[in-house]
Structure 1
Amino acid sequence: MSSNNLDNLYRQVIMDHYKNPRNRGVLEDGSLTINMNNPTCGDRIQLTMKVEDGTVTNARFEGEGCSISMSSASMMTQAIKGRKVEEALKLSKIFSDMMQGKAYEDDIDLGDIEALQGVSKFPARIKCATLAWKAMEKGLQEEEQQ
């Protein structure tokens, strides 16, 4: 597949998650709640997660922001559901490395998340893509400290 066709495919995946977000909403059942924003562009997210026996059993988000930010939140919530906390944090590290243009472990299937790898070419948009992931890290780290 040519680079141009791949870019178009990735754009379509990002726009699909933006227009049809997965896991949009709030968990009400005593879940972790993390609120974060990106003051440079105005993106904001409220992430709620349920962690049981060291596994992220559910994750949902609410917020406002650009297509990159909201698509990333949609993809992230899909990716972490059903994963052990350690796996979710590892996935976040892989995503962070990908956003910084670094080599990253590819032993985990990134699925739709790979569509965001082109964001690394636009430094001003990296914070948009990583906002939900930073919220997830913060929430899981707080959960581990309890």
Structure 2
Amino acid sequence: GESFQVNPTCGDEVTVGVRLDDDDHLHVGYEGQGCSISQASASVMTELLEDATLDRVADAERAFHELMHSKGAGQPNEDALGDGIAFAGVSKYPARIKCALLPWVALQDARLKAGIEIDKPTTPDA
């Protein structure tokens, strides 16, 4: 599956593609342009989730959404996020949260378009 997402506020554009292999591991790639936050987020996300199990993907999606909505409070889940914890400071700047989340929104959309369901809720509200 593939998803194209745009952040009109900043001009970010990202396309994320995903596929599941025979061992139920996710393969993910992206193309994009925009601010350094969106591009770094996409890069960290793809590195973190390439060849990941669906449980790992669910944990990372949930942890990144929680981090972006934490407003800089709380402890990021380093096990789930890896280098993604570097984005903790972004959560203090509402205008930049969309930039960091854009690739993750595209990932979730691409995953759903590909019929790759995750049993665990991936957003804090779910």
Task: Give TM-score, length-normalised by structure 2.
Answer: 0.80
Tell me the CA shift for residue 33 of structure 1: 1.7
Tell me the CA shift for residue 104 of structure 1: 6.4
Residue 53 of structure 2 corresponds to which residue in structure 1?
A: 84
Tell me the CA shift for residue 109 of structure 1: 4.5
**Structure 2: gaps of 5 or more residues:** 118-126
Deviations 1:32-59 (A, max 9, x none): 2211111222100011222113210x22
Deviations 1:56-83 (A, max 9, x none): 0x22211111000000000000111121
The partner residue of 1:119 within 90, 105, 113 is: 90
Task: Give TM-score, length-normalised by structure 1.
Answer: 0.70
1:90-129 → structure 2 map (5 Å cutoff): 90-101=59-70, 103=74, 106=77, 108-129=79-100
**Structure 1: gaps of 5 or more residues:** 1-31
What number of residue pairs does the alignment pair up? Answer: 114
CA RMSD of aligned residues (A): 2.1
Q: Is the 8 A contact 1:99 1:119 kept in 2?
A: yes
Amino acid in the other structure paired with 2:98: K
**Greater RCO, CA 8 A, separation 6+:** 2
- Structure (1 or 2) with the greater helix fraction: 1
Q: Is the 8 A contact 2:20 2:116 kept in 1?
A: no
CA distance in 2, matches of 1:105, 1:112: 11
CA distance in 2, matches of 1:110, 1:83: 12
Tell me the CA shift for residue 107 of structure 1: 6.8
Identity in percent: 34
Residue 10 of structure 2 corresponds to which residue in structure 1?
A: 41
The partner residue of 2:110 within 139, 142, 145 is: 139
